[in-house]
Each structure stands twice: as C-alpha cells, then as structure tokens.
C-alpha cells in the first residue's frame, strides 16, 4: 500500500439519511458454481447480498471452473452488485484456484486508493488475503479492508498467515477491517470438549489440540490478531445488536464462528450491528457488519511505524 493512513484527506460528507457503512463477508463456496458451471448457488448468494445492500463485500472462494473465466466471473459478480472489484492472489494451498476479493460500491462515493498485497515474492506462502484502501464518505482517514481466507488444513500455516497479517495491519497503522473465513475459532465461542468431539475428525488438526486427553479449541489465530489490538467485533457487541442474539456457528459443520470480523481499536466503537444469514448458496453463512459513520468519523489511526 502506498497511501499514508496517517494523513487525513478531504472526504466527501456522508449522506445524512444513510450515515452507516455496511460491510458484508461471504464465502461463495467455489465461486457459487458447480464443476459444470451451473450457477444456481451463485444466484442465491448474490440475491442475499443484494438484500443486505452492502457498501463493501469481502469475498472468499472467488473462482471459476476454468482459470480463463475467473476475471469474467469476478466482474459478473461485481456488476450484478453494482460494485468495483479488487482480486487477491490465489489462496495458499488451494487446489481449485480460489481467490479472495474485495468489492467496493464506488457509485456511492467510496473511492479505491490502493490495493494489495504487493505483487512479487512474498515471504513463505502467498498472502491469504486481498486488501483495498478505501476513502469512505464521512470518514476523514482511509479505511483498509482485508478479505481473509486462511488455509483449511494446517494450524501452523493459519498462525503464520495471521501473524503476518496482524503485523502488517499494526505497522501500516491505518483504520482497518479484516473479515472472512479464518477456518478456526475464537475464545468467545467457548467451545466445550463435547461440542468439539461431535465435529468431523478432519477438522481437528487445524482447529483443535489435545491436553491431558481432552479436546480443546485452538485459539492461536485469534490471539495473534488480538495482541495487536484487533477486536473480534461480534463478540464485543451486546446481544441486542446481534442477529442472532447469541454467538452462533457460521459454517455447516457447526461448532464456532469460522467467519469473523476484526476491527482496529479506533474503529471498534463504531460497530453498531452484526448479522449472519444462510444465503442458500454456500456452506458458510454471510456476515454483515454495520458501522455508525458518526462514530467512525472520530476515529484517528495510529499511523505507520518503521
């Protein structure tokens, strides 16, 4: 990213009648397409997103049966939603060519200032996220949005990616929203050994550990994010600001919230509502986070550090 998050800009004012920012996160499950290209699931996911009316969509598993059709499918999705897309790198260890993406409603006055991660050699495996630095009407400083999809099969690779991401966000010092499919859990889910034991065994290596013969959830990814001040947003909102009121699983395997939003501290107080819904088009529920722009307008980023 090249724009300094520490410098305020003259942002267009927020629409007084729409003084909120709606951010969706959706795992499309193989792009919403079957191996033969059937797009029934894609239509369901897009319809659910249209009903949410988001300003920013954080997408995971943006893909197509043929790599040559990926850009066409990306733009088809963005055009249907009236948005401008930013495509991230292939997801690490993905055999189906899954990508992350960030879609931005530029027609509503949001402006994409920069994108990432940077092209070229990356330490370790490619970054498991896509990012877009966006100027949002009503917020004086740009906001960096990260669509995240951590590797599904390895706790070690998940932690490595999470540490790289958290370090990057902290060093950039921008206002940031990181959301997506983390493929692991957070402490607020308070998962019991009985709940963990009831889940498919193939989920245990990346998401659990055994201590004295008892299954425990692995919360290392959450801790790597939280140590820099990133907040598990749904967990800190009061039940009355959530739908459902109680924290609930976001994937078909039950258990905990593998899909989550994290906010940097200056933005955390602007979160006003969290929702999750089954779209009928994916094995993950779609998330919707609403930020109050009056509160977000007062957010000042920490600024970059060497």
Please name the residues in contact with 172: beta carbons below 8 A apart, sequence gap of 6 or more. 1, 5, 144, 304
Q: Tokens 């088809």 correspond to what residue?
A: 76
96 touches 160 (CB < 8 A): no
250 touches 257 (CB < 8 A): yes
Average confidence (pLDDT) over 182-193: 97
The length of the chain, given as a count of residues = 306
Q: What is the pLDDT of residue 38?
A: 93
Q: Over 70: is that where the pLDDT of 128 sits?
A: yes
Distance of CA 160 to the CA centre of its chain: 17
- In degrees rounded to 5, what are phi and psi of residue 71? -60, -40
| Distance in angstroms (rounded) separating the CA atoms of residues 33 and 55 | 24
Q: Where are the domains of the chain?
A: 20-185+219-296
Q: What is the pLDDT of residue 303?
A: 96
Q: Over 50: is that where the pLDDT of 55 sits?
A: yes
Q: 270 is written with which tokens?
A: 């602007």
Q: What is the pLDDT of residue 12?
A: 54
Q: What is the pLDDT of residue 4?
A: 46
Q: What is the pLDDT of residue 130?
A: 97
Q: Please name every residue paired with 215 in a beta bridge, in sequence order, or none if there are none.
A: 210
Kindly state which CATH superfamily the domain 20-185+219-296 is placed in.
Answer: Endonuclease/exonuclease/phosphatase (3.60.10.10)
Distance of CA 187 to the CA centre of its chain: 18
The H or E element that residue 208 is part of is strand 208-211
Output the CA–CA distances (angstroms, integers) from residue 245 to 179, 234, 270, 285, in the order listed. Answer: 20, 10, 19, 15
Question: Confidence band (pLDDT; 50, 70, 90) for 95?
Answer: low
Question: Confidence band (pLDDT; 50, 70, 90) for 105?
Answer: very high
User: Does the CA dihedral 231-235-236-242 come out positive or negative?
Assistant: positive
Q: Over 60: is that where the pLDDT of 1 sits?
A: no
Q: What is the pLDDT of residue 18?
A: 57
pLDDT tens-digit readout, 221-257: 999 999 999 999 999 999 999 999 999 999 999 999 9
pLDDT tens-digit readout, 76-94: 999 999 999 999 999 887 6
Question: Confidence band (pLDDT; 50, 70, 90) for 3?
Answer: very low
Q: What is the pLDDT of residue 35?
A: 85
Average confidence (pLDDT) over 189-206: 96
pLDDT tens-digit readout, 262-302: 999 999 999 999 999 999 999 999 999 999 999 999 999 99
Output the CA–CA distances (angstroms, integers) from residue 279 to 42, 96, 236, 285, 290, in the order listed. Answer: 10, 22, 25, 6, 18
């Amino acid at each position: 990213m090249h724009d300094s998050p520490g410098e305020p800009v003259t942002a267009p004012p927020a629409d007084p009648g729409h003084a909120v920012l709606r951010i969706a996160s959706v795992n499309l499950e193989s792009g919403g397409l079957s191996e033969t290209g059937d797009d029934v699931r894609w239509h369901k996911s897009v319809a659910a997103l249209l009903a949410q009316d988001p300003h920013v969509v954080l997408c995971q598993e943006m893909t197509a049966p043929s790599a040559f059709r990926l850009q066409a499918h990306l733009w088809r999705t963005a055009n249907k939603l009236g948005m401008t897309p930013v495509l991230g790198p292939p997801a690490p260890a993905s055999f189906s060519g899954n990508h992350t993406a960030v879609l931005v409603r530029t027609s509503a006055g949001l402006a994409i200032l920069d994108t990432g991660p940077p092209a070229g050699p990356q330490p370790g495996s490619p970054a498991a996220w896509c990012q877009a630095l966006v100027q949002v009407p009503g917020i004086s400083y740009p906001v960096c949005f990260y669509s995240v999809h951590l590797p599904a099969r390895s706790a070690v690779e998940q932690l490595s990616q999470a540490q790289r991401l958290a370090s990057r966000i902290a060093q950039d010092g921008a206002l940031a929203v990181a959301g997506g499919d983390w493929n692991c859990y957070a402490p607020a889910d308070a998962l019991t050994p009985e709940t963990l034991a009831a889940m498919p065994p193939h989920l245990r290596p990346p998401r659990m550990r055994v201590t004295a013969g008892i299954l425990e959830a692995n919360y290392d990814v959450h801790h790597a994010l939280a140590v820099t001040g990133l907040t598990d947003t749904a967990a800190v909102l009061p039940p009355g600001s959530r739908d459902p009121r109680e924290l609930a699983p976001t994937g078909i395997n039950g258990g905990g919230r593998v899909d989550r939003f994290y906010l940097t501290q200056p933005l955390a107080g602007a979160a006003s509502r969290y929702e999750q819904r089954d779209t009928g088009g994916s094995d993950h529920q779609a998330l919707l986070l609403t930020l109050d722009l009056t509160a977000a307008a007062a957010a000042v980023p920490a600024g970059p550090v060497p």
